[in-house]
Structure 1
């Protein structure tokens, strides 16, 4: 009886958390050696990933991570970059102290959706790696168009609807004036609009949008027109090649790029497959909406951003400020709250990851 009471008490002390998986280009120069530094104990996992990659005549994850220097063409290519990010993110998830945190929901941004499938248990770790690698290779081989990023928040991270309206009007004017130009919303990323289109459309948009501090508008190097109709060929090929993908209902609720929840007891695998390989490939990914649903449905004690990098820190905070989560109304209040009580944890930052893993990073001499 005493043991049962102790178990109940321990369970009640767990903090609830939602887990967020990052998207493309999260692994950058400063992340080189990430798996060595933070996941030296995950030899078995990395070995399985390497084995799978080598069987398909691809560079091993460990070799990419342990390279002497970061090479953008190598580390950010579709077939390498996506797999490297996935491996780091999945290892980060395993490092979260499960006896301290109850993971109540999982979501991801763009490519992070594929990672989220594995984190939530809808795919095995190796099947998730195969998925991201296949999609990454298809992007290298068949990807077309470009992406551009533009901010629509002020310096205190308040949304500015008039800026967004100006962007939408400019896109419409360009397409009316130039019949060959194609432009779309690609990703709703907090206070950032990720816009996509063919090369003509993006070139004209970059020329016509008013310049902003921070170098915006900024064309994102190496990115195709993800989440737009320009990806239809990739979607068709992926759906044909990945029919045997061993998807199953998630063990943890999944929230997709529309804000739709895929629940363990109410998920049809065929519909999940269709969304993963068709819908989200060719239609906008509303990361802001998925995060809004997560915090409003599950009211987590913590929001844990998996590494590598910290590309989602700002956009997540901007969404939370918009909905006055934790009472935040501006960037200053967010920063003050984080200094006192870290509710938003980025595992890509060594000091913050300690609060959810309890493990010091391994020192690597050659980096």
Structure 2
């Protein structure tokens, strides 16, 4: 038997969590420490021992009723959460790509998988397993457990020089690598604004430099310690808000009806990494005419004014996952990304999950479980 944190959805609890927002009591969340049989590896899979597993913003969104209900068919519950995974296989440290696509599900390649775009797999609900990826699939446990199974082709050894705290960031690092490669790296803009001082935002600064962007990086971060980290990872200047960034660059503001403001001029590209709907709205006016917004945050449903997109020909690309190549690139970048391990904060045992969730909700450093 093994210990694991199991999420069992409840519609009443979902409604109450959504209504009460951050005031919903942590111990009332539908998350429970349970004892489960150790998983038996299906064909082509290996059983791993978990070393560290991160708490992601998408995990918090699920627990607190902020995930879009429209996405429910693509996950299955009850499930052991945790998709940011550092583990051991035969004494070797490895990181895990948690996707369960056509190959793992025992199906012929769909058109997306055939092109190498396995993050867009059209068979996420079919085949050998119920819907989802590791950490969101009721058939296979995620990383908030002592053991899990992963397909051999989704397991990547970690260089000995890379500390555990850096390695556990591989999955969010892959999210950033893929998004930046798709939206920005093929045609770098003159300057980039990164919005968000959490893990994804700060990793965005580091990845931009690692992938060769040499222009100015501006970062919007609210906390002083996050501003210091952003500058240490490659940001040239930081601001407390998008508005302050626009004013500092002397972009022109126009006052409309009901106090609404419009802007002319802006940054060549904006990476919105906060997951805050209001920040996305601000970002839509902070990008230059004809510019690009890369949405790496994961806001749920919200009212949004789309005027900037058609009025200023702004392009919006959303990205939340990665293909096999992007994940492999993230693993290769780990040895040179010295300093990102500072983004990892407290480590909690599984039995201390209420304290871990509270710490994750406060924001700041990445919270991880150490089973």
Q: TM-score range by the shorter chain?
A: under 0.3
Higher helix proportion: 1
**Higher normalized strand content (fraction of residues):** 2
Q: TM-score, normalised by structure 1?
A: 0.26
